[in-house]
Amino acid sequence: MGPRNRFIAIVAVVAIATGAWLSFKVMTPAALPLTATLLPAPGPLPEFSLLDHDGNAIGRGVFSGQWSLVFFGFTHCPDICPLTLQVLADARKQLADEGMDPLPRIVLVSVDPERDTPEILGQYVQYFGDDNLGITGELEEVRKLTGRLGIFFEKTATDGDNYSVDHSAVVLVINPRGQFHALFSAPHIARNFVHDLPLIMRGR
């Protein structure tokens, strides 16, 4: 191969590589959330007056300044609620292992404030992570929050004098401006959160 041919060959290789790189950059769509639903226009939360798990009075401002994953449940729920909190805790741990910082906070809003005192709720949520937040208080105030978010719950009798609470199974994503930003529908699987949350939190 003469110098001229070698030059042509090098130019050809460079051109092909550049073309491949460009087409990869241009043609590959930005990754999108796979399971989460993004709200087209995130809106502010309604005002409410509730208690955190330390008994401090809180309003919607408690959601400002960080991303939150909010689940509605209750402590006398042996199956779905601990299962969901464990999924969220596992997802948060995996995101931490991948270097995500800051991490979203896990929040449990009690739909059974009658039995969930701040103390009981605090023990419960912190079992799944020290940074978790429990919210409880007057039933009417809980309803102010849930009603505007489309979260439904109702008491149901089980056996004897025991009762359960049916409740919406979604996990809401609240952004650091305190706006309802996205939601995950049940069934909840850790890898869905691990895949979608970085995309949601980076604003794609």
Partner 1 sequence: MQLKFVILLSILGTACTLEQAPLVATDVSIKEPLPGMQMTAGYLSLTNNTSQLITIARVTSPQFGSVEMHESVVEDGMARMYPLGELTILAGKTVQFEPGGKHLMLMRPVGEFQSVTLEFHANKAVLLTVNVALSD
Contacts for 162-168: CB closer than 8 Å, 24+ residues apart: 164/76, 164/77, 165/74, 165/77, 165/111, 165/112, 167/72, 167/73, 167/74, 167/111, 168/72
> Is residue 37 part of the contact set for partner 1 (CB under 8 A)?
no
> Is residue 75 part of the contact set for partner 1 (CB under 8 A)?
yes
> Is residue 53 part of the contact set for partner 1 (CB under 8 A)?
no
Residues 127-166 that bind partner 1 (CB under 8 A): 127, 152, 156, 158-160, 162, 164, 166
Distance CA 140, CA 144 (A): 6
Among 63, 68, 73, 113, binds partner 1 (CB under 8 A): 73
Between 81 and 201, CB nearer to partner 1 = 81
Among 38, 169, 190, 199, binds partner 1 (CB under 8 A): 169
| Alpha-carbon torsion, ordered 16, 18, 24, 26, to 10 deg | -120
Between 28 and 162, CB nearer to partner 1 = 162
> Is residue 105 part of the contact set for partner 1 (CB under 8 A)?
no
Smallest distance, Å, CB 126 to partner 1?
A: 8
Distance CA 105, CA 130 (A): 10
User: Cβ distance 133 to 97 under 8 Å?
Assistant: no
Site residues (CB under 8 A) for partner 1? Answer: 73, 75-80, 82-83, 119-120, 123-124, 127, 152, 156, 158-160, 162, 164, 166-170, 185-187
